[in-house]
Structure 1
Amino acid sequence: MLGLKIILVLTVNVFNLVSPFDFDFPNLPTVEDLLYGPEPFDNRIVGGKNASIDDHPYQVSFIVNNSYFCGGFIVSENYIITAGHCAQNVDPSTVVLRAGSTYRKNGTIIPIAEVIPHPEYDNPRFDKDVAVMKTVNPIEFTDTIQPVKLPKKGRKLKDNSMIMVSGWGRTEQGASSIPESLMDVEIPVVPYWQCFAVYFTVLTRNMWCGGNFVLGGQGTCQGDSGGAAVQDGQAIGIVSFGRGCGQQFSPSVFADIAAPPIRDFITKHTGL
């Protein structure tokens, strides 16, 4: 009976802290964030550290129509993957995509020929958050521009195993700007049942969560959307959404690349 009371108290406390109806895509800073340089940040994506493109050569950044910012990752010489919510009604000619630099305003510009979001994205809400971007010309690979491997369909994640996420997203909730230099953070995979307890109105089997569930302090934030979560040299997730940035009981949510609806979509459009 005592154990049951403890569980009930913890459950009530969690749902007092986290409203499952208060969501925010971890992306889309305003154009002012992009045009005006950020204030210096210390070594913290949220709770992370300064990183080098040498460690994440698949990482790209892009601006759409000079209005919002997202990340993405190279998977072949002709294709880049990002989040579906970064690719809605996008004219490819308005995309300025950069690769090969630690600094988001530098790097090689890669022209985009086609932007293809998953046709069933956001049905149900936030689900199948994936898009494929086709390049105008084959990407010329270098030491700092390389593809990342993709998992086999149906690959299962082990609870509490570690994943790496990189990006130029804000380093804390409510920050007025995004960093110039790439950052990364290593976080654990949150057991599905824990994530479901928070995001039960939207979480599907095409998603998984990562972060320090109880303590918070690490995760993705605005500007990181579309970036890859990497484990064992494979991109296993796409930064999708979350409640705030690194909050307690509010892990980051990722689109599961190995989930059949997402993996099949990628294969259909890339051949990978």
Structure 2
Amino acid sequence: MFSLSIVPVFALVLLNPVSPFDFGFPNVPTVEDLLYGPEPFNNRIVGGQNTTIEKHPHQVSFVVNNSFFCGGFIVSENYIVTAAHCAQNVDPSTVVLRAGSTWRKNGTIIPIVEVIAHPEYDNPAFDKDVAVMKTAEPITFTDTIKPIALPKKGEYLKENSMIMVSGWGKTNQADNTIPENLMDVEIPVVPYWQCLAVYFTVLTRNMWCGGNFYLGGKGTCQGDSGGTAVQNDQAVGIVSFGRGCGQRFSPSVFADIAAPPIRDFITKHTGL
């Protein structure tokens, strides 16, 4: 039987790299199948290229308790946005967040005093995958540390338009290491009906998909979660989850920043 795996892209577990879910067609997966089926998983930005922080000055990286790695993006001098599955029940004192460097282990450390995940994250499964982090002090902006603009509520993406994603996530499904150099990849927005055909048990209208649907070869992977998809100099999506990394018929799934429940949450906590 053709085996499929859905995993939150964040879960680059540095100490114990085990991630979530396994199900097979033609059986229809239940939420329990998706949430409770741990299976080894290995992967980052797939099919992309090396880039520099100057091209993505909003990009940040963070490690929690030296155990898992995520991305995030600066939206103002006081706030950083990431995925809820990266930030749920996270003590701010355990976060090491870095900005301003192309290299994953370098950059300015930005102390965090508050981490707030969407209160309705994962209800239903994977939905409303957004969180905000408040900085201890205002961020000093430079050529390599800058905020990115957000779309208006309801400003939805056009099918097949192109978006750019950056991150330090893994680059292929067989490799259990993560890159030191920031990477990016450009992928198209997948028509909603195509994405729904793949993720029909979990896809909501608060999500959209990106990738080469028929050919595969490009997409996000573990360690990229919490980073953003960019279009027209706006952060339009949050890297959330996917079935494998850059596989055919398995696009990357993003939390839709313009969706009312997500955009309203960001506004409530950041004023943006």
TM-score by length of 2: 0.88
Q: Which residue of 2 aligns with 1:271?
A: 271
Structure 2 counterparts to residues 169-208 of structure 1, below 5 A: 169-208=169-208
Q: State which of 16, 19, 25 in structure 1 corresponds to 2:8.
A: 25
Structure 2 counterparts to residues 228-239 of structure 1, below 5 A: 228-239=228-239
How far off is 1:30 after superposition?
A: 2.6
Amino acid at match of 1:95: V
Q: From the CA coordinates, give the structure whose radius of gyration is larger.
A: 1
Gaps of at least 5 residues in structure 2 are 18-43
Q: Which residue of 2 aligns with 1:113?
A: 113
Please identify runs of 4+ aligned residues in structure 1 that moved more than 2 A: 16-19, 30-34
Q: Deviations over 1:7-36 (max 9, x none)?
A: xxxxxxxxx7574xx3111122232599xx
Amino acid at match of 2:213: F
TM-score by length of 1: 0.88
Q: Which residue of 2 aligns with 1:256?
A: 256
Q: Which residue of 1 aligns with 2:165?
A: 165
**Cα 1:204–1:18, aligned 2, differ >3 Å: closer, same or farther?**
farther
Q: Deviations over 1:170-190 (max 9, x none)?
A: 001131110000000000000
Match of 1:54, SS state, is: helix
- Equivalent pair of 2:221/2:244 in contact (CA under 8 Å): yes
How far off is 1:45 after superposition?
A: 1.3
Structure with the higher fraction of residues in strand conformation: 2
- Equivalent pair of 2:10/2:85 in contact (CA under 8 Å): no
Match of 1:23, SS state, is: strand
Residues in 1 aligned to 2:225 and 2:161: alpha-carbon distance in whole angstroms: 21
How far off is 1:118 after superposition?
A: 0.1
- Equivalent pair of 2:73/2:148 in contact (CA under 8 Å): yes
**Cα 1:33–1:172, aligned 2, differ >3 Å: closer, same or farther?**
farther
- Equivalent pair of 2:210/2:252 in contact (CA under 8 Å): yes
Match of 1:205, SS state, is: coil
Gaps of at least 5 residues in structure 1 are 1-15, 35-43
Amino acid at match of 1:66: N
- Equivalent pair of 2:236/2:258 in contact (CA under 8 Å): yes
Amino acid at match of 1:106: N
Pairs aligned (count): 246
Q: Which residue of 2 aligns with 1:80?
A: 80
Q: Which residue of 1 aligns with 2:58?
A: 58
RMSD between superposed Cα atoms in Å:
1.4
Q: Which residue of 2 aligns with 1:97?
A: 97
Match of 2:268, SS state, is: helix
Residues in 1 aligned to 2:241 and 2:12: alpha-carbon distance in whole angstroms: 14
- Equivalent pair of 1:71/1:224 in contact (CA under 8 Å): yes
Q: Which residue of 2 aligns with 1:136?
A: 136
Amino acid at match of 2:8: F
Amino acid at match of 1:82: T
Q: Which residue of 2 aligns with 1:38?
A: none
Give % identity. 78
Structure with the higher fraction of residues in helix conformation: 1
Match of 1:208, SS state, is: strand
Residues in 1 aligned to 2:82 and 2:95: alpha-carbon distance in whole angstroms: 13
How far off is 1:231 after superposition?
A: 0.1
